[in-house]
Structure 1
Amino acid sequence: MKRLSVQARYMLGMVVDATGSGMYLPLSLLYFHHITGLPVTQVGAIMTTAALLGLAGNPVTGVLIDRYGARTVVVGGYVLRAAGFAAYPLADSAVAMFAVVAVVAFGDVSFSPSIQSFVAEIVRGSARDKLLAAQRSLRNAGLGAGGLIAGAALALGDGTAFQVIVVGTAVAYLAAAALIRSIPLPPEPEGPPPARTKRGYRLVARNRPFLALTLLNVPTAFGYMVLSVSLPVYITQELDASDSLVGVLYATNTVGIALLQIPVTRLLTRYRRTRAAALGGGVFCVAFLSFAALGLISARTPVLIGVFAATLLFTLGELLHGATASALVASTAPEATRGRHLAVYQLSWAIPTALAPAVLTGLLQLSPTGMWLLLAAGVAGSALALVRLEPKLPAQAVRAEAAAEPTVVKEEAGPRAPQS
């Protein structure tokens, strides 16, 4: 294990994590329907309620990161989710199901702010963008591999395959926890220990540029959700395309991210992060306008070509925006309260993710064209506002080259000084 570099151990942990998640995610509703016998609609309602409850743990996550360090929270979240998955086979009723799903939800909500904080601790400058790009790429590959493993297990036709999958996911989370725990932390800077930070969330509330960055992400977060929420309905019901096309488009997006995220982000590190992320928002806008225009076309072949073209544009928007925006946010958050800042920023993803099924399907029923135009206007406005916000952001956040590269740590550093 010690022979592996910091980056290699980190990426191996992400692959193991994503493979475990990919095994379970496509089967989440079916699993509890199979185990409990509850209707799929009731299972979905229970899972949604547990996910919303999990958001209550978001502020606590920020405090824990700043007090005990990001690595501790990442590992703790993995262990919490592993415990929840290990208990899944015991959930034979609605109450028991809610209890175990809520445990996993609290672990889930801790992941994004803690893992971004951890990346910010172990790498700086353009290396941060590249590591986040590699993470997005390999996690997409891991999710796909996990889905294939789950499909192969279920193809055997044995009811125990469901149990094997959830236990395998628990084992994957424990393995990822061990890998992340093995990564040494950078040594603490010389000099007196940092002053204890009081009223951390008040400092976040006073950081207006960061709050603006958080609010500007909300329209983009809704845009990210169209691939899994509204696009399948739009394609099959409004464009009268085959159900199988949905899976092909999803695979196109996933494979595109897995193959191209690293080289695209390496190219983008030469430019301002704000401009690259804004460009991604602009490409999203063009993709949404393209989807809207397809509703005006009746010929099947042009519609099919247009759907693929618009999906490729959507994928390009992700490639430009995803890793770059993550690096921008992590670099904008002050180090002493990075956990709290990123926990607040995570709400700009978590809330749209929770609301998207209801909001996007409601808009789709009201006016499919109107939904796409509203999404296009939202991401375009967000992109323009991000460029205008640029002068108010720290220089090391806007330009990757403004932050010094870290020295690679080869040995475990001493215990971290607690922060709050």
Structure 2
Amino acid sequence: MPRIVWLLVTARAINRLGAFSLPFLTVLISTDFGASTTTAGVLSAAFGLATIPSRLAGGRLAARLGRRRTIVLGLTGCALAQLGIAAAGSLAAVAVFAILLGLVFELYEPPSQAMIADAVRPAERVRAYSLLNVALAAGGTGAGLIAAGLGRWDLRWLFVVDALTCLACALALRIALPADHRHRPAVRHGEHGEHGEQARPWRDRALWGMFTSGTVFALVYMQIMMALPLTLARRGLEPADAGLLFTASAVTVIAAQPALRLRRLATLSDSAALAFGYTLLAIGLVGYAMAHTLPAFLITTAVWSLGDVLILGRAFSVVAGLAPPGGADRYLAAYGISWGIATVAAPVTATQMLEHAGVAALWAGSASLCLALAAAQLLVVNPLISGKGRTAPAPDTTSGEATPAAETDSRPADRP
């Protein structure tokens, strides 16, 4: 992997070490300020709503200010907002800082993901994004343990430590990343007229297919983050033990990385790999519906985390591959809105399902969505992305191993 990929991976691990506070935002609102579960869900949804313009701004600021400046701005803003939440003395103050956090929360993602996409060959993108996922998981192993410890003492300290890691990450990247320079707008030559035109992600049907499926996946994923502490409480367990479960998930993601090099997995088409991942996710969530002890929750967490291993790297690689040269920022920013939508919806859907239908219904319903995603990926999304020239990867016969996620493009003039 190029040096810039390792820089982003290392910084992401540092940042992830403290990124354990958000799943406990609803718990903080409920316990420290006596708010109802519904109120806590609404305020968390307000945070999620603010992340939507944040993601779009991240793509545009990367083009105007530069990728490094945008990354540093986003991380510094997150730190200040987190400290505001930790110091807030009223529910109104928490709400204000939660919204401010949402407005800067996603600035980091489009420029950092686009840097990775531009730094490696298309055939190596799944490996690169999977490496980023490993960094998140590695930081998450420590994050979960810190959350389990600090959460028993004072939930506010979770936000303080999160802020400190954001500042450390911002400083490291400000020093290490190459200086910014302006990029010309991405153009698809020969495809939209003689002189081409600026790439517009929302006119790409393949991106719409990935965006729709990605939104449903993000909703399920965010429901896990938001509802797991509340689920543990309803099952008579300690909510802070969600930190242990997040650690188990991170360990599983790290341990499962060598499996991505297996020929049978690496040579799967993008849609087949994604459908398999959604199915594993569904199996794990069915386990949550039936679990009543911490060991049972740990086992089912490991199962759905295996699905996570297959999904995240592939999804980002597909989206980056759909973008024209230099257009990865805008494509990844557009795709990332799915997470903002999910962050808005998940606190409301999760808390309402828990309150009116119960734990089993919440997780069984989430599992059903995952199975529907697997079917839709194969029947609906696959024809769209196949039409853009993405095919199943070919085995690397020189090394004896499969080359993960190699991709071909039917428009060679569009690739550098």
Question: TM-score, normalization: structure 1?
Answer: 0.73
Aligned twin of 1:413 = none
> Superposition pairs for residues 110-129 of structure 1, below 5 Å?
110-129=107-126
Quick check: 1:181 aligned with 2:177? yes
Q: By how many angstroms is 1:281 displaced?
A: 0.8
The offset of 1:117, in angstroms, is 1.7
* Paired residue secondary structure (1:140): helix
Which amino acid counterpart does residue 251 of structure 1 have in structure 2? T
Displacement of 1:74 = 2.4
State how far apart, in whole Å, the 1-side matches of 2:224 and 2:86 are: 31
Aligned mate of 2:258, from 260, 263, 275: 263
- Asked whether 1:144 is paired with 2:141, we answer yes
Displacement of 1:86: 6.3
Q: 1:272 aligns with which of 262, 269, 272?
A: 269
Corresponding pairs, count: 380
Measure the CA separation in 1 of the matches of 2:58 and 2:365: 33
Q: 1:362 to 1:170 in 2, by over 3 A?
A: closer
Pick one of 16, 19, 32 that aligns with 1:18: 16
Mean Cα deviation higher: 38-47 or 369-378: 38-47
2:308 maps to: 318
Distance 1:161 1:304, change over 3 A: closer
Q: Do residues 395 (structure 1) and 389 (structure 2) align?
A: yes
Whether the 8 Å contact between 2:59 and 2:330 is mirrored in structure 1 is yes
CA contact (8 A) 1:82 1:173 kept: no
Identity %: 21
Do the aligned partners of 1:113 and 1:342 also contact (CA within 8 Å) in 2? Answer: yes
List gaps (5 residues or longer) in structure 1.
Answer: 405-420
Aligned to 2:340: 350
SS at match of 1:401: coil
Let me know the Cα RMSD of the aligned residues. 4.2
Letter of the structure 1 residue corresponding to residue 251 of structure 2: V
Q: Partner letter of residue 271 of structure 2?
A: T
**Any unmatched runs of 5+ in structure 2?**
394-404, 410-416
Q: State the alpha-carbon separation in 1 of the partners of residues 270 and 155 from structure 2.
A: 49
Aligned 8 A contact 2:12 2:136 in 1 = yes
How far off is 1:179 after superposition?
Answer: 5.1
Distance 1:356 1:177, change over 3 A: same
Contact 1:117–1:339 (Cα < 8 Å) also in 2: yes
Preserved CA contact (<8 Å) 1:13 1:175: no
Inter-partner Cα distance in structure 1 for 2:369 and 2:41: 28
Cα displacement string for residues 345-404 of structure 1 (whole angstroms, at most 9, x for unaligned residues): 112222122211221232343265544443233222222222233243233476432369
2:16–2:143 Cα contact (<8 Å) kept: yes
- TM value normalised by structure 2: 0.73
The CA distance in 2 between the partners of 1:159 and 1:319, in whole Å, is 29
Using the alignment, how far apart are the partners of 1:160 and 1:223 within structure 2?
Answer: 26
* 1:377 to 2:368 alignment: yes
**1:211 and 2:208 matched:** yes
Structural mapping, 1:10-409, within 5 Å: 10-22=8-20, 25=22, 39=34, 46=43, 48-67=45-64, 70-85=67-82, 97-146=94-143, 148=145, 165=161, 168-178=164-174, 181-182=177-178, 198=198, 203-234=200-231, 237=234, 240=235, 242-243=237-238, 246-260=242-256, 262-267=257-262, 268-292=265-289, 294=290, 307-364=297-354, 365-366=356-357, 368-388=359-379, 389-393=381-385, 394-396=388-390, 399=393, 400-402=405-407
Query: Deviations 1:187-240 (Å, cap 9, x if unpaired)?
Result: 99xxxx998955x5xx32321121011111233223223433344545554xx4
- For the residues of structure 1 that align with 2:322 and 2:280, how far apart are their CA atoms? 24
User: Which letter does structure 1 place at the counterpart of 2:344?
Assistant: A
Q: SS at 1:402's partner residue?
A: coil
Rounded to whole Å, the distance in 1 between the matches of 2:145 and 2:228 is 23
**Shift in Å, 1:167:** 5.8
Code of the residue aligned with 1:360 in structure 2: it is A
Separation (CA, whole Å) in 2 of partners of 1:15 and 1:228: 18
